[in-house]
Every structure is written in C-alpha cells, then in structure tokens.
Amino acid sequence: MKWAVVVFPGSNCDEDAVLAVTQVTGDSVDKVWYTQRDLSGYDAVILPGGFSYGDYLRSGAIARFSPVLAGVQEMATAGKLVLGICNGFQVLTEAGLLPGALLRNDHLQFRCEMTPLEVMSNASPFLADYKIGEVIQVPIAHGEGRYYADEQTLDQLVASNRVGVRYLRNPNGSLRNIAGVLNEAGNVFGLMPHPERAVADWMGSSDGRRVFLSMKRFVESQPVTRKGDEKVASLGDRTQTVEVGQSHGN
C-alpha cells in the first residue's frame, strides 16, 4: 500500500503521521510537498495537523488553495482514502470535501489533553476495526476545533451514519459533540483528535492504531482486476488494473 502525507508550510505533525503509519502498518510513506499536484500513485493521503500558513486568515483557509488540494480532490473522487487530522480536518472543510466548519473553541483556550471518544460508526474504511459504542482515548491539541454546521446538515450527518466519533467530554463546544465526520461516499474522514499520537502504550493510549490498520486492511482487501475485467471496488467504484504476474500490496 502506498501512503502520502502532505506537508504545508506550517505543518508540524507530518513526521508524527509518517512514523505512526510506518510503525503500525510497516508500509513506507512519502512526504509530499504542498506544490505537488499529482497524487495518482497513492492509495491513501493524510493531511496532518499543524498550523498551515500560520493559520493566518482562518485555519485551513489558505492551504485549501494549494496545488496539492487538486490532487486530494481527484483522490477523493476516485474513491481513494483521504484522512484529515486536526488542521487537515480544517483544510478539508474549507475545501468543501467535508461539510461544516471548525470554529474557535468556545472557551477561547488552546486545549492539549487526552480525550475520551465514542465510536459512532464503523461502516467506513477508517473505523472498521472498532466497535460501535466503544470508548477510545485519543489526544487533542487545538484552539479552533469547535465543529459547526447548520441543523439540517447535522441531522443529515446523524441520519446517514456519517458522524464517525464524538466527544464524551466536549472540550471545545462542538455541536452535538462531534469530533469527526465522513463524506457521503465514506472515503474521506476528518477528525480533530490525533490518532497518530495514540499508537503506543508509552503515549498514554494505543487506541489510534486501528485507524491506520483499518485503512490498510480496506485497501488491500479490494478486488484486484486484470485487464479486461470490469469488476470495481465497492467504495467509490475504485478499480486497479494489474498485469498477470504483477504484485499488488506494499
């Protein structure tokens, strides 16, 4: 499986994401600079946390115009996996790849702490290895993490099972305690907590490991077609053509 981690000016969790994926899955990971447009060679892309462009104007508002976002959009359209963590979540909402917006925390404080989350849906490639209702511990580190959307959008997210995780102790005033949401196709996921900082016991929690393992298992379980075969993957109608004898996987 081929992973990419986008690096914007101001990203500071890109190396965390690279190390988490490498250590958890054993796969190699490429760091991709924000000027790279073509991401077609990757199965999954991670938009990491940090302060892209210094969070000037509004978190994620400038990064959403970076050339790499065209490649991210193409990956999302093709049914490939897109994961936005913290600032990455903010970028995805600014780019319209996820609904809603992330506003200043209601207490106007930056919060960095371990946070209990409830898994609300496991019907996606990101949370398939979790149980619905399971409580996991994942840290947060943000000043603009308050999830907001209009009531109609919130109702739609809940009704369509697109709230992936919610806060048990709301740290920022997010509406309906939402901590992470999915797009309609289920292949784009954004969340404010940092699963890459919860992949080993010494971190205080290893509950984030299964996000990356779920993604890997999904990609490697997809049907692989040979030339002339019209089968497609179940999510996003994703198809890969492989010559006879060509390997597929890592």
Residues involved in catalysis: 86, 194, 196
> Cα torsion at 84, 85, 88, 90 (round to 10°)?
100
Q: Where are the beta strands (DSSP E) in 108-162?
A: 111-119, 135-142, 146-148
Q: Are 55 and 142 in contact (CB under 8 A)?
A: no
> Cα torsion at 151, 157, 159, 163 (round to 10°)?
-130
**Closest residue by Cα to residue 126 from 72, 201, 190:** 190
Q: Are 135 and 116 in contact (CB under 8 A)?
A: yes
Q: Cα 89 from chain centroid?
A: 7
Rounded to whole angstroms, how far apart are CA atoms 186 and 161? 10
Rounded to whole angstroms, how far apart are CA atoms 215 and 48? 16
